[in-house]
Amino acid sequence: MIKELCIIGHPSLYGGADTELLDQIKCWTKMGIKIYICHTGLIDNNLKKLDLSNKYNCIYLKPRQWNEIKGMHCISFCNGEFLTNLRHIKKFAKTTTFVNCMTWNFQKEIQAQHDGLIDFHLYQTDHALEKVSKNLKQLGIYRPIKFTPYFDSTIFPYYDKRPNDHFRFGRISRSDTNKFSSDQMYIYDNIESPIQKSGVILGWNMKIKDKLKVQPKDLSITKDSTLKFLVEYYKNYIQLLKEATISQQEFYQFCDVLIMATDTFENLPRVGMEAMSSGSILVVNNKGGWTVEVENNKTGFLCSNTNDFIKKSSLLAQDQVLKDQIRGFARESLLRSWGFEESAKSWQNVFDQWEKLIR
């Protein structure tokens, strides 16, 4: 078993791959791995706040000083600077591993594979592997490995005691128009609920407004007593909040049902795990990573079209017992599938492959 590894790049609290990397550090630490970090940029105050040296005994190397990684297994999560500097990194690293968290290739990733600079490619799902490998497997020796990422559920507490005076729903994502289906507001408007509907969209901006064809007459601004500042509303029942207006935990505490229709093909959506950990029920697209996370009709609902979204959301609005059952099953599934034991087992396989290559 390996005793140490080096991360090229740095985790953070922002962005999917960077946030995911932080959880993997927690997993590796529990496994007894000594972790070195060679960042590709400046260590700013946001990164310092993570306090990785004290919390996880991470050892910092001088940023971009590739000679300091000599003799170590090096891994990077979707870091463009890693790909840019890979020719230099390869001179000193024991092995190089690139984790592509997307469902498409980076051009520099393709070039690095062509030049024989990447020893291993890691993937979280079969569908990501299938899509990404098409442009790589013909370019020299290709060593793909699947792993099970660790998700730290302690960061997202489970809210099982939820008020039932309103049907509370929402969606959360980056302010990326591709993350939104143009039918999103139509779905919300047509949910049939015996009680008042209240929604939150976290990740709103003017481009989203234009894509969803929201008209000025449908918008209002109100001083929200809970948030203590002016909030833009859609038809007086959906709060429209910019990114980071409230914390993710506050969002999930409010959001009884996460109704997310998107135009993207996701790899393994982190918000799905966050919702399952928090007790927010998933009503999501029947494609990509959602199908890996959700067991349809048991731990959430997978929807193939707009009518599915309306029908399943309406069902949840009308059945409190069903909601409580689903949120419980989802939490159990999350802990079983993405907990430490499953993840550590898969990482051990990765580490074994690293060591086997250099013997």
Q: Which two tokens stand for residue 129?
A: 């592997």
Domain boundaries, the chain: 4-150+339-358, 154-205+243-336
Q: Are strands 73-77 and 59-60 parallel, antiparallel or unpaired?
A: unpaired
Residue 110 CB neighbours (<10 A) = 15
Average pLDDT of the chain is 95
46 band by pLDDT with thresholds 50, 70 and 90:
confident
Give the residue from 167, 200, 196, 202 showing the smallest Cα distance to 320: 167
pLDDT digits (tens, 9 = 90+) for 225-255: 677 778 999 999 999 999 989 999 999 999 9
Is 90 exceeded by the pLDDT of residue 300? yes
116-168 pLDDT, tens digit each: 999 999 999 999 999 999 999 999 999 999 999 999 999 999 998 899 999 99
The token pair that represents 307 in the structure block: 């009518």
The DSSP secondary structure of 49-70, one letter per residue, reads TT-HHHHH--EEPPTT-GGGGT
User: Of 26, 37, 32, nearest to 63 (Cα)?
Assistant: 37
154-205+243-336 matches 4-150+339-358 in CATH topology = yes
Point out the least confidently predicted range of 6-20, 175-189, 311-325.
6-20
Q: What is Dmax (Cα atoms) for the chain?
A: 68
Is the domain spanning 154-205+243-336 CATH 3.50.50.60? The answer is no
What is the C-alpha separation between 10 and 53, in angstroms, rounded?
12
Closest residue by Cα to residue 101 from 266, 260, 263: 266
Concatenating the DSSP letter of every residue in 112-157 gives HHHTT--SEEEESSHHHHHHHHTTTTTSS---EEE------GGGS-
Alpha-carbon span 55 to 152, nearest angstrom: 15
Architecture of domain 4-150+339-358: 3-Layer(aba) Sandwich (3.40)
Measured in degrees and rounded to the nearest 5, phi and psi for residue 258 equal -95, 110
